[in-house]
Amino acid sequence: MSNLLSRKVLIGTAIVIAVVVILLLLPIPRVVLAEISIPAEPVFELFGFTITNTLLSSWLTMIVLIVGGWLITRKTTEVPGRWQALLEMIIEGFYGLVEGAAGAKWARRFFPIVMSIFLFVIFSNWLGLTPLFASWGPLHHAEHGEGEAVKWLNESQTLGLWVGAEEAAEAEGAGHGSGEEAEAGYNLVPMFRAATTDLNVTLALALISVLLTQYFGVKALGLKYFGKFIAVGGIVKAFTKPGLGCGGRIATFGMGLIDIFIGVVEAISEIGKIVSFSFRLFGNIFAGEVLLAVMAFLVPYLISLPFYGLEIFVGFVQALVFMMLTVAFFIVAMSHHGEEELEEQLQDTH
């Protein structure tokens, strides 16, 4: 009982009660739910090319990474300070993950690629949680009279405030004779939307990962790497290897057919990697943004805070999963053909 009546508990309880009372008593405007669109929305045109909000976000993410990398590394010293030591510890931790999976030899080649993917994905996910995203942008006329009302802030109607139906009615009632009116039927197109909520972006990342998987497989095994897709060696052996006998040739031919079927399955699995990679990342991040928007619409300003923490964690986990699965695919591609070659690859990597 004494713990429940401690000073920290009482202060925390008082702060929560005060926030709830303020939210109930003050005329705080509600959060307007933006239109939920799976495809990326166009925001303007540049030299005849349509620029979407996710493309802008991709550019912004790259700018943040490039400028941030330059600012962080321009004053590095041999004896690291506190922040440089923290950064080096983080980088070494991720490098240790890759090295533990792939070995010292291949980790030096894998790490720059997979770490770049990780940084792009995690910054795209986390930037999407900032107020710069999904809160402002061009207003478009809604179809069939739907949409929300807009209170224009200037006579030319180039700057407006997106308001709800109740606020629009109050503004219209108070605006008679004062020139202040609210016009209904608009949808907000966010100027910025997290890049990873666009299936085109996640598909591009998945293609990069799978194509690099084929590259490292060929680099490690040569043209024999493609033997897992075109496995005709068993059928050729059934007709050319001497001393098999009739039963042996039939059995070898049957195993060759199985190898061909497995090769088809392997080819389909490479396509499946692209699909699973792209839809996993897209689905998790897009669903998280929709969840935050709906929670803010239902209970403004308060209930969304725990979900923000959840989405920060989910953004990190999805970036880490994408990174480590890419490393795993690289390793599998380099150690695919038989037990002897698998042992050779493991010896080379370690």
Query: What are the pLDDT digits (tens) for 72-94?
Result: 888 777 777 777 888 888 888 99
> Would you say 35 and 187 are in contact if contact means Cβ atoms under 8 Å apart?
yes
- Tell me the mean pLDDT in the region 288-312: 79
Whether residue 70 is predicted with pLDDT greater than 80 in this model: the reply is yes
- Higher-pLDDT residue of 311, 256: 311
Write the single-letter amino acid at 234: G
Question: Model confidence at 345, in pLDDT bands (50, 70, 90)?
Answer: very low
95-104, 131-140, 184-193, 252-261: segment of lowest average pLDDT: 252-261
> Would you say 122 and 94 are in contact if contact means Cβ atoms under 8 Å apart?
no
Whether residue 60 is predicted with pLDDT greater than 60 in this model: the reply is yes
- Tell me the mean pLDDT in the region 265-269: 80
Question: Model confidence at 346, in pLDDT bands (50, 70, 90)?
Answer: very low
- Higher-pLDDT residue of 64, 162: 64
194-219 tens-digit pLDDT: 889 889 999 999 999 999 988 988 88
- Tell me the mean pLDDT in the region 121-132: 89
Joined tokens for residue 70: 């330059």
Please give the model's pTM, rounded to 2 decimal places. 0.76
CA distance 182 to 170: 9
Question: Model confidence at 334, in pLDDT bands (50, 70, 90)?
Answer: confident
Whether residue 54 is predicted with pLDDT greater than 60 in this model: the reply is yes
| Percent helix / strand / coil, the chain, rounded to 5 | 65, 10, 25
- Tell me the mean pLDDT in the region 263-272: 80
The kind and range of the H/E element at 348 are helix 338-349
How high is the pLDDT of residue 342? 41
How high is the pLDDT of residue 310? 87
